[in-house]
Amino acid sequence: MDQITGILSAEVVGKGTKSEGPKYFLQPLDDYATKWSKILVRKQAHLWENDRVLHHYVGKKVVILGKITETKSTITVDYEFVEEVD
């Protein structure tokens, strides 16, 4: 399991459609910040729903434990645990 630290944010996508809802992103504050400015955090809810766990931490500095998938052009995190840090 990988660990990443950053500030969690949400952006509404699919405006005006039945699947309008939030996507969650992490602005990394650790070693990933040198390569990525924004990392997609995959939510565990339907497209149109807020993620019960992630939505509570929007705008806060968090540490996320989960599986990080990094390619040449994208990076995503499938989270298993999220916790606010100071």
State mean pLDDT over 19-36. 96
**pLDDT value at position 7?**
98
Q: Which two tokens stand for residue 81?
A: 């645990």
Residue 86 predicted with pLDDT over 90:
no
pLDDT at 31: 93
**Ordered structural domains, the chain, with CATH:** 2-84 (2.40.50)
Q: Are 74 and 36 in contact (CB under 8 A)?
A: no
pLDDT of residue 41: 98
The pTM of this model reads 0.93
What integer pLDDT is reported at residue 78 of this predicted model? 98
Q: Are strands 39-42 and 75-84 parallel, antiparallel or unpaired?
A: parallel
Which residue's entry shows tokens 């990076």? Answer: 75
Residue 56 has pLDDT above 90, yes or no: yes
Task: Say how far apart CA 30 and CA 66 lie, in whole Å.
Answer: 15
